[in-house]
Amino acid sequence: MKLLKRGLAAALTFFVLASGAAHAAFPDHPITLIVPYAAGGPMDRLARQLAAKLVPQLHQPIVVLNRGGAGGNIGAVTAKHAAPDGYTLFLDHIHMATAPSLERKLDFKPLEDFTPLGIFVESPLVLIARPGIPADNKDDFLRWLASQAQVSMANAGTGSASFLCGSLLQSGLRKHITMVPYRGTGPAMIDLLSGQVDLMCDLTANAIPQIQAGKVEAIAVTVSQPLIGTALATTPTMRDFGIPIAPLTVWYGLYAPAKAPDPVVRKISEALQNVVRDPEFQKEQADAGLKVIKDERLTPEGHRDFLQAEIKRWGSVIQEPGN
């Protein structure tokens, strides 16, 4: 019996040491980063910048794999079914919080099928108006808004950031706004520029060139503080402008499949935090209208807590009558 116990103890010790060595060796071959949208878009650009900065941290090549389609759901399902060993990572944005309320039958559960690794960048939005709408001060704008029998607002499709912004705006103002969905922000912007629709929310990076060219009017940004150091430094916040809505940003987070080993999670999280501290990476994101995250959302625990709160938040907004 003693010999049996010694043998079992030795085997257990070997297993623990071997497991620790395996985790310590992570990674020892290339990593795949799944992007749930097509190549060439904003998230693809971000993924490739992130991958380039993670390579010297993890000392392995990182292959960006685009799996677009179904509004991001195909990429999420692909990542969900990958081995939870840290060699497949997944990049997504606010879609992870809105998908559960938008899809009647969703083939993944954000909180159960993924291990959050950190939210590392976010982009504010800006409410913009077609030429001719008074936007210099809140009294003129709110007076114009009240005088209109019908106000139209473009968005890039149900569940998009511009859709969410419009939903919050309608709720905050307690005024019916006709939501006009488009297949992307490009067509929506074209109709705003031509005066076919009145208002639109867009990512700051997309809207700034049109604002600077004088083609649209900037009304307010969707964050709680002015965007100092940007082209929108003097643009008021929604609340400053008299529009009572909660802050809204499009945030981007990194995930692994569920049940990824804790040592692997910690190693990737540490690498991600080092990337965020990189001045070159910070400048790349600032140039694209994005802001790096330095608060608790950058940690796996903070990411999970924030995602859980966002799922609840957007569930109530999306399910509100009129949306």
- Helix boundaries (H) for the chain: 2-24, 42-58, 73-80, 95-102, 138-147, 161-173, 185-193, 204-212, 262-277, 279-287, 300-318
SS3 for 269-315, per residue?
HHHHHHHHHCHHHHHHHHHCCCEECCCHHHCHHHHHHHHHHHHHHHH
pLDDT of residue 115: 98
CATH topology agreement for domains 31-123+250-319 and 124-241: yes
Can you give the residue ranges of every domain in the chain?
Answer: 31-123+250-319, 124-241
Q: Classify burial at 124, counting beta carbons within 10 Å of its beta carbon; exposed 0-12, middle 13-18, buried 19 or more.
A: buried
- What are the CA-CA distances from residue 246 to residues 91, 176, 221, 265 (Å)? 25, 18, 11, 32
- CA max distance for the chain: 90
pLDDT of residue 322: 58
Task: Quote the CA–CA distance of 51 and 254 in Å, as a whole number.
Answer: 11
CB 273 within 8 A of CB 53: no
CB 140 within 8 A of CB 134: yes
Domain 31-123+250-319, what architecture?
3-Layer(aba) Sandwich (3.40)
pLDDT of residue 6: 53
pLDDT of residue 4: 44
Q: For 124-241, give the CATH class.
A: alpha beta
* Coil, strand or helix at 185: helix
Task: Quote the CA–CA distance of 78 and 39 in Å, as a whole number.
Answer: 16
pLDDT of residue 320: 67
Q: Both tokens of residue 60? A: 């392995």
Q: Both tokens of residue 262? A: 């804790």
Residues of the chain short of pLDDT 70, as ranges, are: 1-24, 320-323
Q: Both tokens of residue 192? A: 């705003």
pLDDT of residue 18: 45
**Exposure letters 264-291 (e unless 16+ CB within 10 A, then b):** bbebbbebbbebbeeeebbebbeebbbb
